[in-house]
Amino acid sequence: MIDTVDRQEKSGFVVNGIMGVPDNMGNRYRRKIQVWVNAGGVIGPYVKPTTDYQDWHNEISNTDKEMSRDWEDYYDSNPSVLASKPQAVKDRHTNKKALRAGKPE
């Protein structure tokens, strides 16, 4: 039984919040969706599951695995220490600073 149908991000549908169905009338579940629509069902729009802030937070949290905020702050306070580190550490620090500067509201 179909209760809800929502669009997926790129194409296709999600039925009852759990089953993905391609937008291909050759698919039997896609035909069932069409019967549901013909009977008055309304396909809901695609809704992004996370906000821009949540996406940013997840990304910055992932960078913390390679360089914690404590180390980032330490390198900010001691640039000579950062200068003595391998280029990979410097790049990680620079990338984190750029990501942090792009924090969405």
Domain for residue 70, yes or no?
Answer: yes
Lowest mean pLDDT of 16-25, 32-41, 60-69, name the range: 60-69
Question: CB-based burial of residue 45 (10 Å sphere; 0-12 exposed, 13-18 middle, 19+ buried)?
Answer: exposed
* Shared-domain flag, residues 95 and 69: yes
Q: Quick one: CA torsion of 48, 54, 60, 63, rounded to 10 degrees?
A: -60
Q: What is the pLDDT of residue 105?
A: 82
Token output for 74: 């330490």
Q: Does the pLDDT of residue 44 top 90, yes or no? A: yes
Q: Does the pLDDT of residue 77 top 90, yes or no? A: yes
Q: Does the pLDDT of residue 49 top 80, yes or no? A: no
The range of the structural domain enclosing residue 93 comes to: 52-101
Domain for residue 45, yes or no?
Answer: no
Token output for 27: 């698919």
Q: What is the pLDDT of residue 90?
A: 95
Provide the mean pLDDT of the chain. 93
